[in-house]
């Protein structure tokens, strides 16, 4: 039989098939054998691995516990109790009762029974020992803890007590510094870097909640950069679920290294007790405040001289600012650093000294921390173009004086573009063009010109105002002294003069 016939025969085919099957079977068996011996450990090794898996978990828990122990030992001695006595004057009700029952010994009826009376008000809070100069030891706390207290008592962790004295207080950040004197050894807190905090970081809150001395609670950083809380407070708060209650105010929020990264300040709660929503002032917001208190007795804030806000989505879209973080300048104080430096209404500030501005609240905080007398770089968008200005910052006056300066706000009112929704809401005619006047500040040029809320500015100096961009463009051109405004109020056409 020829080779060709042999190769094509059924017997040879079956022989080859059998041979190939044996070879494949041998290879698979070999693979299985080697994979089993090298990849699957003996039974006793499996048990050993499971036992090893349990041990690290227990050690990890003990490690966390030890960390909390270590932090508590380090920080408890630097957190103090602050007791404040304050004299409060209040009008007494007719008859004197229950006023006299609660606040003093009942006195016989007199002609003065309805006049104001004084009583003692007592407060309790916490504080953190942050610095020492010679015999003077400085304690940082909240402004609302010390209030206008005439008597301040400071009680240390080891129960030593000292008479405290107010060094300085600041309502804008709700911070205060008190001082006591001693030659004794006093532990000083180690301040951390709150800018390095991350959501999820372990933190401990230490203070005297409801009078329970030296209480330690643990939690995490729930959020950063929170706004809100007490009115006029310009801080961006650290939010934590570590239990904070009344009496914790002024106490320390510390990281896992025992470094103070915040001053516990307020909580939000429907019951008045902790529900895991506590807020602390970042320690980096207080560093300069401490030095200002010691050196000057007050905080010197930087002042730019603008009235700012966050544009609503419709306005941001019209001004081509969608997705761009920053703050919109609505008004400029005439004669202020902003005015002298070239800032104009309608400018959108995006960066200050290289710091990206998140929103108007962030800008207030950043400007407040600028050093008065120094030049600061402001990056902004004006009429769709990027511009940089260098402005010399001034010292911010007391709040009463700043409010008195509001008459110098230019132009003294805000505007918004006209949309289909506004046309429908205000029952305007379809196709109405211009801008709608928002809030008008008392005593400002806009107020003196006679502008009112919901007025429609149709023209400036005879030129049609199509929207917000045109309004600010015409208002800022050549920085004129006077502008002729064509106003529509209800169905009435009005001409007014706006004077800078």
| Tens digit of each residue's pLDDT (9 = 90 or more) over 143-175 | 999 988 889 999 999 999 999 999 999 999 999
How remote is the C-alpha of 465 from its chain's centroid? 37
Residue 6's pLDDT is: 38
Which residue in the list 126, 214, 235, 249 is annotated as catalytic? Answer: 249
Gap between the Cα atoms of 257 and 287, Å rounded: 19
Active site residue 144: yes
Q: What is the mean pLDDT of residues 228-252?
A: 88
- Per-residue pLDDT at 130 exceeds 80: yes
Which residue in the list 83, 174, 236, 255 is annotated as catalytic? Answer: 174
Q: What is the mean pLDDT of residues 35-40?
A: 36
Which residue in the list 83, 144, 170, 339 is annotated as catalytic? Answer: 144
Residue 425's pLDDT is: 83
CA-wise closest residue to 328 among 359, 374, 302: 359
Q: Mean pLDDT across the chain, nearest whole number?
A: 85
Give the range among 47-51, 112-116, 384-388, 493-497 with minimum mean pLDDT.
47-51
Give the range among 235-239, 305-309, 398-402, 466-470 with minimum mean pLDDT.
398-402
- Per-residue pLDDT at 45 exceeds 50: no
How remote is the C-alpha of 490 from its chain's centroid? 42
Active site residue 185: no
CA-wise closest residue to 212 among 282, 298, 273, 283: 273
Give the range among 199-208, 367-376, 400-409 with minimum mean pLDDT.
400-409
Q: What is the 3-state secondary structure (H, E, C) of the chain?
A: CCHHHHHHCHHHHHHHHHHHHHHHHHHHHHHHHHHHHHHCCCHHHHHHHHHHHHHHHHHHHHHHHHHHHHHHHHHHHHEEEEEEEEEEEEECCCCCCCHHHHHCCCCCCCCCCCCEEEEEEEEEEEEEEEEEECCEEEEEECHHHHCCCCEEEEECCCCCEEEEEEEEEECCCCEEEEEEECCCCCCCCCECCHHHCCCCCEEEEEECHHHCCCEEEEEEEEEEEECCCCCCCCCCEEEECCCCCCCCCCCEEEECCCCEEEEEEEECCCCCCCCCCEEEEEHHHCHHHHHHHHHHCCCCCEECCEEEECCCHHHHHHCCCCCCCCEEEEEEECCCHHHHHCCCCCCEEEEECCEECCCHHHHHHHHHCCCCCCEEEEEEEECCEEEEEEEECEECCCHHHHHHHHHHEECCEEEEECCHHHHHHCCCCCCCCCEEEEEECCCCHHHHHCCCCCCEEEEECCEECCCHHHHHHHHHHHHCCEEEEEEEECCEEEEEEEEC
Q: What is the mean pLDDT of residues 32-41?
A: 37
Q: What is the mean pLDDT of residues 104-109?
A: 46
Instruction: Point out which residues pair with 154 in neighbouring strands.
Output: 82, 162
Residues sharing a CB contact under 8 Å with residue 90, sequence separation 6 or more, in sequence order? 116, 117, 119
Torsion angle (degrees, nearest 10) of CA 414, 418, 419, 424? 100
Active site residue 249: yes
Whether 360 contacts 307, CB under 8 Å: no
Share of the chain above pLDDT 90, in %: 64
Residue 431's pLDDT is: 79
Q: What is the mean pLDDT of residues 480-495?
A: 91
Q: If you search the block for the tokens 């570590």, which residue do you land on?
A: 242
Gap between the Cα atoms of 449 and 63, Å rounded: 70
Give the range among 16-20, 115-119, 246-250, 391-395 with minimum mean pLDDT.
16-20
| Tens digit of each residue's pLDDT (9 = 90 or more) over 377-402 | 999 999 999 999 999 999 998 888 88
């Amino acid at each position: 039989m020829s080779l060709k016939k042999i190769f094509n025969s059924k017997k040879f085919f079956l022989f080859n098939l059998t041979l190939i099957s044996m070879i494949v079977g041998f290879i698979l068996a070999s693979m299985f054998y080697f994979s089993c011996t090298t990849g699957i450990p003996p039974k006793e090794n499996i048990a050993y691995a499971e036992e090893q898996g349990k041990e690290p978990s227990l050690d990890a828990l003990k490690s966390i516990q030890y960390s909390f122990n270590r932090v508590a030992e380090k920080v408890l001695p630097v957190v103090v109790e602050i007791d404040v006595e304050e004299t409060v004057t209040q009008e007494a009700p007719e008859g004197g009762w229950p006023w006299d029952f609660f606040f003093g010994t009942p006195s016989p009826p007199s002609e003065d029974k309805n006049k104001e009376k004084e009583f003692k008000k007592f407060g309790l809070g916490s504080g953190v020992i942050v610095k020492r100069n010679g015999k003077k030891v400085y304690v940082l706390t909240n402004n609302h803890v010390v209030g206008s207290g005439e008597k301040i008592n400071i009680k240390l962790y080891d129960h030593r007590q000292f008479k405290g004295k107010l060094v300085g207080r600041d309502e804008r950040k709700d911070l205060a510094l008190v001082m006591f004197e001693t030659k004794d050894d006093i532990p000083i807190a180690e301040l951390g870097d709150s800018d390095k905090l991350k959501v999820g970081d372990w933190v401990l809150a230490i203070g005297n909640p409801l009078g329970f001395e030296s209480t330690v609670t643990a939690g995490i950083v729930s959020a950063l950069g929170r706004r809100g809380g007490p009115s006029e407070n310009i801080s961006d708060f650290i939010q934590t679920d570590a239990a904070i209650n009344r009496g914790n105010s002024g106490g320390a929020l510390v990281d896992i290294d025992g470094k103070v990264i915040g001053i516990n300040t307020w909580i939000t709660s429907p019951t008045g007790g902790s529900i895991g929503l506590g807020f602390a002032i970042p320690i980096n917001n207080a560093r300069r405040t401490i030095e200002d208190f010691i050196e000057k007795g007050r905080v010197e804030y930087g002042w730019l001289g603008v009235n700012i806000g966050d544009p609503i989505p419709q306005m941001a879209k019209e001004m081509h600012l969608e997705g761009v973080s920053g703050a919109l300048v609505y008004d400029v104080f005439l004669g202020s650093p902003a005015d002298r430096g070239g800032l104009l209404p309608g400018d959108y500030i995006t960066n200050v000294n290289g710091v990206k501005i998140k929103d108007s609240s962030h800008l207030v905080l950043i400007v407040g921390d600028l050093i008065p007398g120094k030049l600061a770089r402001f990056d902004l968008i004006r009429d769709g173009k990027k511009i940089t200005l260098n402005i010399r910052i001034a010292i911010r006056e007391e709040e009463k004086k700043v409010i008195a300066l509001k008459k110098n706000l230019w132009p003294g009112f805000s505007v918004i573009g006209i949309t289909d929704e506004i046309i429908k809401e205000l029952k305007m005619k379809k196709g109405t063009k211009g801008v709608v006047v928002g809030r008008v500040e008392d005593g400002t040029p806009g107020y003196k010109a006679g502008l009112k809320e919901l007025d429609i500015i149709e023209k400036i100096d005879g030129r049609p105002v199509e929207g917000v961009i045109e309004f600010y463009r015409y208002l800022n051109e050549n920085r004129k002294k006077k502008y002729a405004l064509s106003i529509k109020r209800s169905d009435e056409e009005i001409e007014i003069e706006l004077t800078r």
